[in-house]
Amino acid sequence: MTEAKKKEQNGRQKIDGHVLLKRGFDILLIGAMIYAALMAFGVIRRGGHFAEGGTAPAFTVRAIPDGKELKLADFKGKPLLINFFSTDCPSCRTELPHIQEISEQAGDRLEVLVISNDAPATLVAYLRQESITLPVAYDQGAAHRAYNVDTIPYLVVIDKEGHIQGDFVGGVKWSDVEPWL
């Protein structure tokens, strides 16, 4: 084989490698977009971090605005819906009024707790601006780690005995919560 043919073949292999890398990236990107669309339309909703019926991890957070310490044990005896939230998250901001509706619909049959690692002053301002009256707590990260929160909004339904009944990445509905009341 001549030197020129070797160089041409070598160059073609490099180009083929770049093409393969680009196609692989394109496939990965398309897959991520399909997954995001399925999540957005509620086709994929389960968080899947916890087995149903498993014991909910203990946590300690600070109530907003008074700073009172709240623990999971404080909620035992009533079902609890935890909503991990951030003011920087568009999906969280869209969902929070729906969480408030669920809370109002359930009345005293359900406790709701919104947990955020936003600065307390930011949370107070946001809640006031949006007329949100749900109980909100500040977390320095321990509750987020205990619940393996890697995507928000992330919601967890805990029964009155402290067992997880479901965890969801956004889009929780009344029908998801009602069976545990």
Q: Contact 134/99 with Cβ under 8 angstroms?
A: yes
In a domain, 132, yes or no: yes
- Shared-domain flag, residues 24 and 111: no
- Shared-domain flag, residues 23 and 98: no
User: CATH number, domain at 168?
Assistant: 3.40.30.10
Tens place of pLDDT for every residue, the chain, 181 residues? 666 666 555 555 555 666 656 776 667 666 556 555 544 544 444 556 676 788 999 999 999 989 999 999 999 899 999 999 999 999 899 889 989 999 999 998 999 999 999 999 999 999 999 999 999 999 999 999 999 898 889 999 999 999 998 888 877 777 777 776 7
Q: Contact 100/114 with Cβ under 8 angstroms?
A: no
Cα–Cα distances in angstroms (integers) from residue 47 to residues 60, 116, 122, 123, 176, in the given order: 22, 18, 27, 25, 13
- Shared-domain flag, residues 34 and 96: no
In a domain, 97, yes or no: yes
**What is the number of domains present in the chain?**
2
- Shared-domain flag, residues 26 and 107: no
Region of 104 please: left (phi>0), alpha (psi -120 to 50) or beta.
alpha
- Shared-domain flag, residues 30 and 95: no
- Shared-domain flag, residues 176 and 126: yes
Domain that holds residue 17: 1-44
The pTM of this model reads 0.72
- Shared-domain flag, residues 8 and 92: no
In a domain, 163, yes or no: yes
- Shared-domain flag, residues 6 and 85: no
